[in-house]
A = this chain, B = another copy of it.
Amino acid sequence: MREVCVLGVGLHKFGRFPEKSVEDMGRVAILNALDDAGIEFRDIEAAYCGRVYAGLMGAGLRVINEVGQTGIPIVNVEQACSSSSVALRLGYYAIGAGICDMALIVGFEKMERGMLRATSPANSYDELVGMSTPMAWYALEIRRHMEQYGTTAKQIAMVSVKSHRNGTLNPYAQYQQEMTLEQVLNSRMIADPITLYECSPTTDGASAAIICSREKAQKYTNSPIFIAGWAAGSPIYEKGKDYDELGIRLTEKLAKEAYERAGMGPGNMDVVQIHDAAASGEIQRFEALGFCNKGEGGRWVEEGRTEIGGEIPVNTDGGLLSRGHPVGATGLAQIAEVVWQLRGQAGKRQVAGKPKAGLCHNSGIGGVNITILKT
């Protein structure tokens, strides 16, 4: 399998854009990525699009036709909140296999108010017991964690405070205002202990990346960013193990796989993006990804060790909580942030000391995707 690089990335600002279509936003993200890569649309040989709500029947074609028509195959992937990470992985396989040399990956979404409230199939067991929103799952997980390890409501809220502070440094973020600990803790309770401001918002937005073979990248840049490792999988319910830790166990397993493929460990990661659909999720995934021992995640946040200036900066762009979470577009926004950080182009939120490797953790209903990038 050939080595694969991320040659360019681009975003359309995340936020609420009732006047814009996914075509409008997708076009901006794609043009930004093409510009960043220094290539033309005609150089693209295939496209992979991640979206959830953007319409059946060829949404990817409609978005990509905004930029050009060259007859390339266009694939639409739907993987809930990790759709564009999965799209990236599929493009990575194709380039790795030698099917093509240069591919466009796009994520886009327009979300109606409350769209992600109910995600379980009607009449499913999950729905019948009231577990029909992702926040109910996050609440179950973190309740046990609080019980077992003494993680506090304050520590959880501090994740959101950190994310919103980072969001003020990111011109693409949906929310660019700081939020106080009191504001987060006193906001409306959604699923105890998770409050409103500890939930990722509904968001419109688009993201894009250009990926290519190592050989191809050499024509355009002296410092490509490589896809060094990846892992993807689905949760397994194991008898005798806890249902509420399904996502954690999966993340632990996949993190090992991704580090092994990359020939690196958590200690090599200089910047990390974690799927913080709920603030509590960041704490537990930070542990599952091997950055600290189980039960210590809350203290790491409280001690500021996951801040941009800390030992392991997490969600430097504001994460899902502040940058926003337009489901189909989220995965590539994580990739864009790590690419910018590794190139030293992250502006006011740049991690110090020339970061050399970063990890993106993106999860969707029924699956987790991990991508490790390196210089």
Contacts and interface: CB of A to CB of B under 8 A. Distances in A.
A292 interface: no
B62 A121 contact: yes
Contacts of A135: none
Contacts of A53: 56
- Which 7 pairs between the two chains have the least Cβ-Cβ distance? A97-B97, A58-B366, A61-B366, A73-B232, A96-B97, A57-B80, A71-B236
A234 B236 CA distance: 37
A234 B71 contact: yes
B121 A69 contact: no
Interface in A74-113: 74-80, 86, 90, 93-94, 96-99
Given A58-B80, A119-B57, A72 B234 contact: yes
A206 B248 CA distance: 32
A227 to B, nearest CB: 13
Contacts of A234: 61, 64, 69, 71-74
Sorting the interface of chain A by its residue count into under 10, 10 to 19, 20 to 34 or 35 or more gives 35 or more
A236 B70 contact: yes
Contacts of A61: 234, 365-367
A233 interface: yes
Contacts of A98: 1, 97
Contacts of A119: 57
B93 A78 contact: no
A364 interface: yes
B86 A93 contact: no
Nearest to A59: B78
A74 B237 contact: no
A167 to B, nearest CB: 26
Contact of A121 (B52, B55, B77, B79): B55
B74 A56 contact: no
Contact of A75 (B69, B86, B97): B86
A358 B289 CA distance: 47
Contacts of A237: 69
Contacts of A99: 1, 93, 96
A236 to B, nearest CB: 5
Given A1-B99, A96-B97, A97-B1, A366 B236 contact: no
Interface in A333-375: 364-367
Given A56-B53, A99-B1, A233 B79 contact: no
Contacts of A1: 97-99
A131 interface: no
B233 A366 contact: no
A250 B72 CA distance: 11
A235 interface: yes
Contacts of A86: 75
Given A70-B236, A71-B250, A365 B94 contact: no
A93 B56 CA distance: 24
